[in-house]
Amino acid sequence: MANSMITGVSGLQSHQKMIEIVGNNLANLNTVGYKERTGVFADVLYETLRGGSSGTAGVSGGTNPVQVGTGSRLSSIRSNMTAGGMESTGSDLDLALDGDGFFVVNNGTSNLYTRAGTFQIDKNGLLVDSGTGYPVQRFGIVGESNEEFPSFQTAGDASINIPLGANVPGRATQNVNINGNLPSAGAIPTAGVLSTSAWLSGGSAATSSSLLNSLDFVTTPYQAGDSITISGTDTDGSAVSVSVPVSATTTVGDLMAALNSAIPGTTTTISSTGALSLTANDAGKSYLSVALLDGTGNTGGSDFTEAPFVVSQTGVDGAVVRGGVQVYDLTGGVHTINYQFAKKADGTWDMTASLDPTQGTMIDSTVTGITFGANGAFSHSTGTGNGDANMTIQFAGQSAPLTFNIVLDGGGTTGSGLNSFSGDASISSKQDGYANGTLTSVQVDSSGIIQGVASNGTQFPIAQLAIGNFRNPQGLEAVGNNFYNSSLSSGDVQLGSAGASGNGVVRAGQLEQSNVDIAVEFTRLIVAQRGFSANARTITVTNDVLQELTNLIR
């Protein structure tokens, strides 16, 4: 009789634990990251009244063992590690893991693991668990010493430092990427040309060695002390008036040299027919004009109106496409650079840039020989020295000049870069420098990289969250405050990053809800109550039987 009483008590105890487990599940129905737990029962020792036998051949068959059980016990409590639903919170530092793994925090002596990513930045700039203040841990070297980005993390310290308001130094421009289209049908520039009719000497075409006095339009031979005045405008439209001494030995070639000297940027030639041509050295819009006049008081003279210089080819600019870009100097200051592309020939353009003189001096302002293939795609640039694919500026008040690359091929980005197709001109540019600023906020991407956002509009990686995973997550030991500790059953933690090595990805602005199903828990609660009541009946019936035994001696 005593055994039946003990058996009933064990059943009460087991179902009491079941009620406690269900009650804990219901209590944590709205606990962030909570995992539903289920109790597993097992039977206990058996009293063997008779062992089993194999029987006797030809006489009797075998018999089964006769055993009486002594109750039940709570064998284990299993955690349901499946993910709960995601709830959006709007807070950038509320994080959830979509998939396997745990966030990692440190309590000062060891790491703890949690699915509840309710994090905040404390007064010291550390990313911590909002409930306990335990620092969140990072993985890898993201955010440590780096020449390209500000570094806020310390090697050997896995805590995450996010110093909002910290200075983010500006970075000088290193590359200017130019994208767009330079129209292939754009006009080609032509050089301005002034020409004369044939200069004749004795009825034949003059040459550069012909004496000036031998020309048919010379009315009176020149003598020592005479002069010819060259007047007009140069290629830029500036007025020209130069007196050139002539004599009986002056040749046509001497006058041609005087023309080249008087009008810079031009070259004078004479054709086989004796016609002179004065050509601008550079193609483009030209204001050339020239007239020859005898000097006052000359002994000799000519009728230059018989073969004057007239425009034989108008200087015309080629197609020009203009743009501009803001670049940053070595101190983070911003400056506007204006540039233009000028067509030089079919498939060939030059680039020239300019800067407000009060802000500095363009030491190297050109990229020449920008060449496009037959399909209109950028091919290469041929310039060297001051015409190569970079520019140099000496900004006012700075000790060192700034040199940056002009990137015309898209920098390896498909579908970008400069081209020369048919159609309208279009141009845009971007550069990789930025001004000084301060760290204003952070964002977390799916790989757990915390991106700093600065007031100057730049973003840069600050740190990467550590994600811990285990071979047997159900073997983790719950220690309260939504934390787990590793155990012999769980195995050692495997640290990594989100989205790698089987770890889940991070969802920013969301929290993982409890995976408790209230309908299931209510059902279990009813089952536990029925089980408790049934075991209580075992005890009451045993008590009644014992009472009857007691009554036998009355």
Same domain, 159 and 219: no
At 498-515, the pLDDT tens digits run 999 999 999 999 999 999
Same domain, 420 and 530: no
Give the CB-side neighbour count of residue 314, counting CA atoms within 13 A. Answer: 3
Same domain, 136 and 25: no
Torsion sign, CA atoms 31, 35, 36, 37: negative
| pLDDT for the residue numbered 554 | 66
| CA 251 – CA 143 distance, rounded (Å) | 78
Residue pair 214/202 in contact by the 8 Å Cβ criterion = yes
**Beta strands 200-201 and 204-205, pairing class:** antiparallel
Average pLDDT over residues 340-354: 95
Domain containing 367 — which CATH number? Answer: 2.60.98.20
pLDDT at 58 exceeding the cut of 90 = no
Same domain, 197 and 269: yes
Same domain, 135 and 283: no
DSSP state of 163: -
Same domain, 337 and 421: yes
At 176-223, the pLDDT tens digits run 999 999 999 999 999 999 999 999 999 999 999 999 999 999 999 999
Round the average pLDDT of the chain to a whole number and report it.
93
Name the domain count of the chain.
4
Burial class of residue 271, CB neighbours in 10 A (0-12, 13-18, 19+) = middle
Label residue 53 by pLDDT band (50, 70, 90). confident
Helical axes 518-551 vs 2-27, angle rounded to 10°: 160
Least confident of 70-74, 371-375, 405-409: 70-74
Same domain, 157 and 297: no
pLDDT at 298 exceeding the cut of 80 = yes
pLDDT at 323 exceeding the cut of 90 = yes
| CA 100 – CA 436 distance, rounded (Å) | 40
| pLDDT for the residue numbered 274 | 96
Domain containing 203 — which CATH number? Answer: 2.60.40
pLDDT at 517 exceeding the cut of 70 = yes
Label residue 51 by pLDDT band (50, 70, 90). confident
Closest by Cα among 280, 287, 304 to 228: 304
Average pLDDT over residues 475-494: 95
Label residue 538 by pLDDT band (50, 70, 90). confident
Same domain, 232 and 291: yes
Label residue 60 by pLDDT band (50, 70, 90). confident
Same domain, 431 and 323: yes
Reading the block at residue 78, the tokens are 């299993």
Query: What residue has token string 């007691």?
Result: 550
pLDDT at 455 exceeding the cut of 90 = yes
Give me the percent of the chain exceeding a pLDDT of 70. Answer: 99
Asked which of 269, 292, 313 is the last residue of a domain, the reply is 313
Residue pair 320/340 in contact by the 8 Å Cβ criterion = yes
Label residue 1 by pLDDT band (50, 70, 90). low
| pLDDT for the residue numbered 416 | 83
pLDDT at 539 exceeding the cut of 90 = no
| pLDDT for the residue numbered 322 | 96
Closest by Cα among 434, 401, 413 to 177: 413
Q: What's the domain range around 503?
A: 86-169+438-512
Reading the block at residue 104, the tokens are 């990692």
| pLDDT for the residue numbered 411 | 77
Label residue 5 by pLDDT band (50, 70, 90). confident
Same domain, 485 and 418: no
Helix (H) or strand (E) holding 320, with range, is strand 320-328
Burial class of residue 299, CB neighbours in 10 A (0-12, 13-18, 19+) = middle
| pLDDT for the residue numbered 186 | 92
| CA 106 – CA 133 distance, rounded (Å) | 9
Same domain, 425 and 469: no
Phi-psi category of 446—alpha, beta or left, where left has phi over 0 and alpha has psi -120 to 50?
A: alpha
Asked which of 255, 280, 313 is the last residue of a domain, the reply is 313
Asked which of 403, 435, 467 is the last residue of a domain, the reply is 435
Average pLDDT over residues 160-185: 95
| pLDDT for the residue numbered 2 | 66
| CA 4 – CA 237 distance, rounded (Å) | 122
pLDDT at 544 exceeding the cut of 90 = no
Same domain, 324 and 181: yes
| CA 465 – CA 126 distance, rounded (Å) | 13
| CA 79 – CA 179 distance, rounded (Å) | 57
